[in-house]
Structure 1
């Protein structure tokens, strides 16, 4: 299919706001995550280079969100401007149908679908897994570095750690004192002659191996006034590494490759894990056609919202995307928590938006305006530009 000059013109009109939206929204998401990662710099002295690597790991997950949104906004704003400047009327008068005008939008949306497929099926889980591994590597390497001898440390949630002497090179401690409040009503006080940090990259766990010491416990919920003292030669404490919301342990479903996710769906014995895995599988595939659905929906919305201006069109686009996001989130919750059928439930929002887009496009094809849509556009316009309500 050869592209005409009109096709290239419309494609440029769509590309400009699409790329701008993609850059702006991706930057906003990156900036929000950077604030959370800043704790690593403050608490552990992590260099900026490692923080940049972490952000690169998260980039596929951000792009899988911002790319469909950008296609929606770019197409909507482009056709809103073309309609407001009467260029749609001029193109129709020259013999071009709305189907012809839709073609460039579908071409860009199809490219976005291919990119979305690579993101959701491969790059996104790979990025999550790399992010988790990098976080563990950073924290496990710098745990002993961040500690100081003869200073009470609160690096680990629910624990206070103290050591008389600390060898950073060998990750060993001497004269160890630990207050462990993680068990709630049964707090523990642990003293040991020595300790050593041990990391397990495969399980992504960090352990403090203690030697020759005692555990003192005073159960607060006990009906009897009891005090426990336990002597040990060796005692291991698993240390939490959830400083940035990424606790170690078994791989989460969002981190699994497509092949491993399919294996978990088939082989897991847990009903809850099976529904969670099925929800993730169908969510990944249902994200792929979204740019096409948004392009189909954005064209009639853009033509009919020509009087609301760029601000109103932008607000309508965000409203559409928010509606879709809430619908998919609700569908995912029904599958994971209520054990609804994953395929039917998670594909319902895309099918509903396909139906809505088809109805609106047919109305635009026959040059019919939807009164309810006009009311919604005026409402959005009044909220977006309140100073003009009285006109």
Structure 2
């Protein structure tokens, strides 16, 4: 009797040891396949995202810039590309690996051996957790610093123009007697412009325009004309600027403004934009923004704060999207189980476009803080994680 019990216990121990060894082999196999697929797709996505930089490099070559400068310029753009390439590569790798395993019936064989689905996807999940930490560092520190360093390199070439000096998302205080804020800028087109003009005794006029365009002055390379449209103007009494009774509020469909920026062009000073700020600097700008912008209206301050909050949320959402994407990619791979990589890559591109469209939507709603665009960027993250978790739980 005792011998029979001992034999049974020994058999169970050998089975447990064999199962543990099989699980270790399985973990190594899945981890290796996932990392190989991740690195291959990362190279592909990085190449695609570097196309724009390649054109810039060609332009620098044509201007006779040294090869070392061009190499530094190219490398400085890599971290900013990694912000988007790493999450996309995680999604692609998870889908391709588990889709192939499912199509070859390997997942079924593993589950028949007593290994559940959560144990099967555990290696990529652990790897994606490490990638999340890496993405946090890149998004919050490395990418902003490299982006700013790249702009400094461009500025050192003396290529700054009056249009380039009109940065979006910050108060421009360098124009004599004018304080200017531009929410968004695309080439020479502007959106949501606030302008304050100062006289000898204080504020003389405040201007808000829904949109505008910037045209260079052919007679003065250091000057531009800003054509403002859908304009609301508040004229102050210079002798009593603090008295709201004396305000005049005219409106205009079109209001041109000429700005002389010749004193700024060629200084070599590059002011940081939102994309150049580290996470510490962004949080500091949010915390002390009210004290710095004491003359800003509540509406202007709310828009400015929301633009910073959207930047913070976007960086964190992109960093943690690796975790959501690995769940979604693995779940879709197990469920669809197709070997054709073209079909999988098409599906991945659709999912990525849907994810990034919410980021673009949030950025476009910065001028409407009441809609909380800083929370909108988290919607695709939560949806992807919920769908991935639900599909895996259902299959399990």
* Pair in the same fold by TM > 0.5: yes
Q: Deviations over 1:304-361 (max 9, x none)?
A: 2223611111111111111111122213322x12213255333222112222222222
Shift of the 327–178 alpha-carbon distance from structure 1 to 2, 3 Å rule, reads closer
2:58 pairs with 1:16: no
Query: How many angstroms does 1:240 deviate by?
Result: 7.6
Indicate conservation of the 8 Å contact 1:297/1:358, yes or no: yes
2:114 to 92, 95, 101: 95
Question: Once the 2 structures are TM-superposed, how far is the Cα of residue 83 of structure 1 from its aligned partner?
Answer: 0.8
- Conserved in 2, the CA contact under 8 Å of 1:83 and 1:89? yes
Specify the SS of the correspondent of 2:272: coil
Q: For residues 14-49 of structure 1, what are the alpha-carbon distances to aligned partners after superposition, in whole Å with 9 as ceiling and x for unaligned?
A: 11211101011112212321203422332x321222
Map 1:150-165 to 2 at 5 A. 158=216
1:255 is matched with: 276
Partner of 1:337: 367
**For the Cα contact (< 8 Å) 1:71–1:295, is it kept in 2?**
yes
Does the CA-based 8 Å contact 1:305-1:312 persist in structure 2? no
Q: Against the structure 1 CA distance between its residues 140 and 354, is the aligned structure 2 distance closer, same or farther, given a 3 Å change threshold?
A: closer
- Superposition pairs for residues 343-362 of structure 1, below 5 Å? 343-362=374-393
The Cα shift of 1:178 comes to 5.8
1:278 corresponds, among 302, 306, 309, to 309
Tell whether 2:99 aligns with 1:80: yes
Question: CA offsets, 1:273-310, max 9 Å, x none?
Answer: 21111111111122221111001111120112223611
Q: Distance in 1 between matches of 2:140 and 2:27?
A: 31
Partner of residue 46 from structure 2, selected from 17, 21, 26: 26
Distance 1:316 1:342 in 2: 26
Q: Which runs of 5+ in 2 are unaligned?
A: 1-19, 161-214, 228-253, 255-260, 294-300
**1:142-221 matches, cutoff 5 A:** 158=216, 182-183=224-225
Q: 1:277 to 1:296 in 2, by over 3 A?
A: same
Aligned partner of 2:189 in structure 1 is none
* C-alpha displacement of 1:53: 0.8
**Is the Cα contact below 8 Å between 2:321 and 2:381 reproduced in 1?**
yes
3-state SS in 2 of match to 1:183: strand
What corresponds to 1:47 in structure 2? 66
Q: How many residues align?
A: 279
Task: Give 1:9 deviation, angstroms.
Answer: 0.3
Q: CA deviation at 1:72?
A: 0.5
SS in 1 for 2:29: helix
Q: Which residue number corresponds to residue 154 of structure 2?
A: 135
